[in-house]
Amino acid sequence: MSRRAGILEFAVLGLLRESPMHGYELRKRLNTSLGVFRAFSYGTLYPCLKTLVANGWLIEEPGNTSEDALAAPLAGRRAKIVYRLTAEGKEHFEDLLSQTGPDAYEDEHFAARFAFFGQTSRDVRMRVLEGRRSRLEERLEKMRASLARTRERLDDYTLELQRHGMESVEREVRWLNELIESERAGRDLKGSASGESAQQNTTSGSSGVLPRPGDTPQADTPDETAT
């Protein structure tokens, strides 16, 4: 399995843990809540869903809302298929949620992991945050060393681009320091004392996804049904 496919499966399981959804709703949530999935298609999502069903982590159910019941005969299509997390799927997601290996620190995987920090235990959050900070500090050191070696050979615009990249990494390191400080103090992200996991609203778009140049919201696409 590719790293990208693994991240998508993780995110789908996490969203379905909140509530059952049909494919169109899932795609919309992935687009709006998890910026890392802003540019992907049904051609990517549905094979992922079929794999999760085959593994026994999801089950397919016919849509039972009045809207679905009316849409099928009027449009000449079947009602939407609703995907529901199984007990085995929940157990598998919780196992993925507890993992703190190097993949959890990488750019895309970290964004997806952070979006589900509200469902993650404090000790795991701490290990992921500290691992991410360590990874970025290593990256920052390499960027500084590279800039020092090549500064004289770079034109002004390339030099400014290098500085911009360093500043972006420095900002994220400062952000991580603040999060780690809050976790150590037993505070949630609102700053109140709490011994429980910080609750993140992943439906509002505040998913902790780091903005990247060129990121723009994607318009909703016409409704589609599973085949």
pLDDT band for 163, please (50, 70, 90 cuts). Answer: very high
> Which pLDDT value is given to residue 2?
64
Q: DSSP letters along 31-97, please?
A: HHH-GGGSS--HHHHHHHHHHHHHTTSEEEEE--SHHHHHHHHHHTSPPPEEEEE-HHHHHHHHHHH
Share of the chain above pLDDT 70, in %: 69
Question: What is the reported pTM?
Answer: 0.71
User: Lowest mean pLDDT: which of 7-11, 73-77, 125-129?
Assistant: 73-77
Mean pLDDT across the stretch 135-155? Answer: 92
List 193's β-bridge partners, or say none.
187
